[in-house]
Each structure stands twice: as C-alpha cells, then as structure tokens.
Amino acid sequence: MNYQKIPDETIKRMPMYLRAFSILKTENQDTISSSQLAERLHLNPPQIRKDLSYFGAFGTRGVGYPVASTADQIRGILKLDVPQKAVLVGAGRLGAAIAEYPGFALFDLNIAAIFDNDPSKIGTKIGTNIVEDIEKIDTIKACDIHLAILAVPADTAQSVVDGLADCHIKGILNLSACYLAVPKSIKVVTIDLAMELGTLPYYMM
Amino acid sequence: MNYQKIPDETIKRMPMYLRAFSILKTENQDTISSSQLAERLHLNPPQIRKDLSYFGAFGTRGVGYPVASTADQIRGILKLDVPQKAVLVGAGRLGAAIAEYPGFALFDLNIAAIFDNDPSKIGTKIGTNIVEDIEKIDTIKACDIHLAILAVPADTAQSVVDGLADCHIKGILNLSACYLAVPKSIKVVTIDLAMELGTLPYYMM
DNA sequence: TCGTGCTTGTGAATGTGAACGCAAGCACGA
DNA sequence: TCGTGCTTGCGTTCACATTCACAAGCACGA
C-alpha cells in the first residue's frame, strides 16, 4: 500500500466535495471538470485535483470526474457509505434545533438517541426520539453508536465526555465553549459560536 | 509603524485567549504564565507567546502576563471593547436557539434585531426581540449594526446576503450549508454542522 | 489509424504557520 | 548593589498546505 499522509485540511474539504457531487447527481450531470467544480465551491482547480488524487485517480483526462462513481468513492473514504448513528446529549434549545436539523440526512448521519439531565425534559419527544436520562447513557453501548454531539453547558461538558468515553464513542462534535480532555482514541471537533462571531469585528474597517 | 501581517490562525485564537483571561479575572488571578495558560487551553506555550507578541509586548519577563490589562488589550485588538450589535436572520429552531445563546455576552456581542420571512413568526417575541419582516431589513441601516448571523435554509441564504450587503453589514456568520458570493468588503465565516460531523467517521478506527 | 484538444495527475516550488531554543531582562532576595 | 531564577520575546528551523507548471493520456473526429 502506497501509504501517504493525507492533510487534515483535505479531509475537512471532503464532505464539501461529497455534497457537491450529490447535488450534481440530482441535476443529472454525468461528469464535471475540476474548474467547473472549483467555480461552484469557490476553490482553485489544482486544489480539488490534488485533494482527490490523494485517494486515487478518479477522473478521466480530457473529460473530468464521473459524478456518480466519484460520489461513491468519497462516501467510502469518509465511511459514510453506511448509515452512521449519533447520540445527542443536551436537549435544550440548541440540542432540539440540532435534533431536527435536516442537513445530516445527505451524509446518512442519524440522531439515534437523545439524553439530558433535566427531569422536565426526560420523556419528552423531539423529532422521532424520546429524551432519556443521562444517567442511563451506557445503554448506547448496545446500539452501535460511535458518534456524539454535545450541546450542554460548558461546565457539565467534561463530565458528559467522561461518560461517553466508556461507551465506545470515537468522535465528538462539541458545541460547548470549553476544552475537553479525552483519550486520544477519541477525535473531538469543537464549534464555538461566540468565538467565531467574536473574530468578525477585527476584520471590519 | 512596524507593519507585519498577522496570521489568520492567530486571529482565530484571540477570542479564546480573551475568554481565558476574562475567566482568570473572575478567579482573582493577577498574572498567568504562557505555560499555565497553555495547559488550560491545550496549546503549546510558544504558540501563545508568539500570538500575543504580534500585537506588542504584553507580558513581564520572569512573571507572566497581567490578567486584567492583557484582557483589555485583546478586547481592543478584536474591537470588542465596545458592544457590538448583530442582526439575526432566520427565526426557525436554530435561529431561536442562537437568539437566546448566553455565550455572546462575554464578548459584548448583542442580538439587536431578528428577521424572518414566515408570516407566522413575524411579530412573535424571541428573548427581548420581536421578529420582523425580512422585507424591512433595511431598517437596520439606522441602527449601527455591522454583524449578521444567518440561520436560514441554504436556498434562500444568497438572496438574504444580497440584501444585507446594502445595509452596511461587514461581517456574516453563516450557518447555512452553502457558498455565499459577497463583495470583498464583507468577511464571511461559515459553520456547516453536517460537514463537521461528516468528517468524524473518517478518523474512527 | 492518427492527430488534436482538453483535462487530469503529480513533482517541484512557493507560501504560511508551528515549534524550537536562546538571549534579553524583570523581580526578588541577600 | 549584585546575583539568581524564571519567563517573555523573537530569530531560526521545521512541517505542513497551497499553488504552479507540465507531462501523461483519454475522447473524438477526420
């Protein structure tokens, strides 16, 4: 196997490519060139070619990339060729919004369970799930769930993560404004809305 | 002026530093060394020193960084030393969650107006704001608002942005899964939840 | 069957950011 | 007043990512 380290930045762009190819498929376009795709995504053609070439030669010279099969390839690379289940922790306003967010469907990402520690929320229904008690988090061990979404206050996030670490969770999307200590077998992506908004004034003239 | 280009990555980390210094202040700690701070934030000490040194010499050798004055300096750099107002477009589930998100307060970022195009939402109250008709978006011209948060479906995002461009908006936090065309006087930060979650399975063993 | 035009794939060069290591220099105590 | 210990600030080195430029090669038409 011709092993080569694939840049993290390339991995970050792969879902973007997958979405683009999926949309092209619905538009019945058979092939697309790197320059056409670059225009859609506001990227440079060589970057797209380089990114895709890390995983093999998907395109045809003189023609472009075949839409359907390249989409399948990317899905396989990202392990999105099988439906992935995620557990959502935190059924507050933000959690509820995420539970019903339609954007996950394109990647076959499904919220399979919801937990909270607020007795007034436990038992209520959000979307197709019933909110369960966070104390019973280890029931997910039996459910083949390896992804978690964290939408809890910053001061309880770490204790939730400690619980998740015992439940075969391997990836966490953290929406709390805090820094999580995790075993290095778990990959964490943190999105901090306030931080992102807080950088914007700097760029204003 | 000894001009030097400051890395974007450094700017991205500045709100993180500001939050850390703000919290330290409430803990009545007068100074902090780069290594102590690095431990809190899971960063390397040299990186913190380099980041801060781009803007001047805030620290004292042998002692560390003075918490209160460094916090003020960073606030000034990020233009967060004056309260900033933002307009929220989209009063759906995600928009409502953001409107009541408590994390913005630390940075003195305030949601000053909310707009939507759904007649059933216009007139309702979210937090302290009343949802207004998107058709009347240009009323914000008179309100000294230069930030916008976009929580609308991907297919309507571009038309909203076109409207915002005429209203002195200079920074947009985009939560829709799409690529926005904007004049280059506007800085856009896009957060795509599905994309972020979509990268996680790749890293699972 | 051969030539032309177009687009990919890829090594090399450039640019950008992170990490390192050490000199500068403040505080504090003798 | 001087020496010691600690921590910053910064020049240099290293690693990573992007961009470039061109050869490889497929499709299509003559």
Is B35 inside any structural domain? yes
The enclosing domain of B46 has a CATH number of 1.10.10.10
Long-range own/partner contacts, residues A110-114 (CB < 8 A, 24 or more apart): A110/A83, A110/A84, A110/A85, A110/A86, A111/A85, A111/A86, A111/A87, A111/A149, A112/A85, A112/A86, A112/A87, A112/A140, A112/A143, A112/A145, A113/A87, A113/A88, A113/A139, A113/A140, A113/A143, A113/A145, A114/A87, A114/A88, A114/A89
Is the residue at B201 inside a domain?
no
Q: Examine the domain organization and report whether B41 and B95 are in the same domain.
A: no
- Tell whether B179 is within 8 A of chain A (Cβ): yes
Do B101 and B61 lie in one domain? The reply is: no
Q: List residue ranges whose Cβ is under 7 angstroms from nucleic strand D.
A: A 5, 7-10, 43-44, 46-47, 49-50, 60-63; B 32-35, 45-46, 49-50, 52-53, 57-65
Residues B104 and B51 in one domain: no
DSSP letters, B81-96, are SS-EEEEEE--SHHHH
- For residue B171, what are the β-bridge partners? B147, B187
> Is residue B192, in this structure, part of any structural domain at all?
yes
Judge if A31 and A98 occupy the same domain.
Answer: no
Q: Which domain does B42 fall in, by range?
A: 8-77
Where among B77, B99, B115 does a domain terminate?
A: B77
Average the pLDDT over B75-86 and give the result.
97
Res. B205 pLDDT band, cuts 50 70 90: confident
Give the pLDDT band (50/70/90) at residue B4: low
Residue A1 has a pLDDT of 32
**B123 and B173 assigned to the same domain:** yes
pLDDT tens-place string over residues A14-61:
999 999 999 999 999 999 999 999 999 999 999 999 999 999 999 999
Residue with tokens 């995600």: B94
How far apart are the CA of B104 and the nearest CA of chain A, in angstroms?
5
Residues of chain A with pLDDT under 70: 1-4
How high is the pLDDT of residue A4? 67
A2 is a domain residue: no
Q: How far is the CA of B61 from the C1' of C30 (A)?
A: 21
* Closest in A98, A179, A201 to B193, CB measured: A98
Last residue of a domain, one of A48, A77, A106: A77
Mean pLDDT (whole number) for B148-161: 97
Phi, psi of A204 (to 5 degrees): -75, 135
Helix or strand or coil: residue B188? strand
pLDDT of A205 reads 78
Closest CA to the C1' of D27: that residue is A62
* Three-class secondary structure of residue A154 per DSSP: helix
* In a shared domain, residues B56 and B91: no
Q: Is the CB of A49 under 7 A from strand C?
A: yes
Of B77, B106, B123, which marks where a domain is finished? B77
Q: Are residues B46 and B145 in the same domain?
A: no
Cβ A31 vs Cβ A66: under 8 Å: yes
Chain B contact present for A178, CB below 8 A: no
Residue A36: inside a domain: yes
pLDDT of residue B2: 41
Looking at the structure, tell me whether residues A100 and A159 fall in a common domain: yes
Q: Are A16 and A107 in a shared domain?
A: no
Q: Does the pLDDT at position B3 exceed 60?
A: no
Residue-level pLDDT at A3:
55
| Number of other CB atoms surrounding residue A199 within 10 Å | 21
CA–CA distance, A185 with A165 (Å, rounded to integer): 9
- Judge if B105 and B13 occupy the same domain: no
Instruction: Report yes or no on A1 lying in a domain.
Output: no
Pairwise pLDDT comparison (A78 vs B1), residue with the higher score = A78
Q: Is A62 left (phi over 0), alpha (psi -120 to 50) or beta?
A: left
- Does residue B134 form part of some domain? yes
Asked whether residue A26 falls in the same domain as residue A118, the answer is no
Q: Give the pair of three-digit tokens for residue B130.
A: 């009343």
| A31 and A56 share one domain | yes
**CATH number of the domain encompassing residue B125:** 3.40.50.720
Residue B137 lies in a domain: yes
Substitution target in A191, A197, A205 with the highest count of B β-carbons within 10 Å is A197
How many separate domains does chain B show? Answer: 2
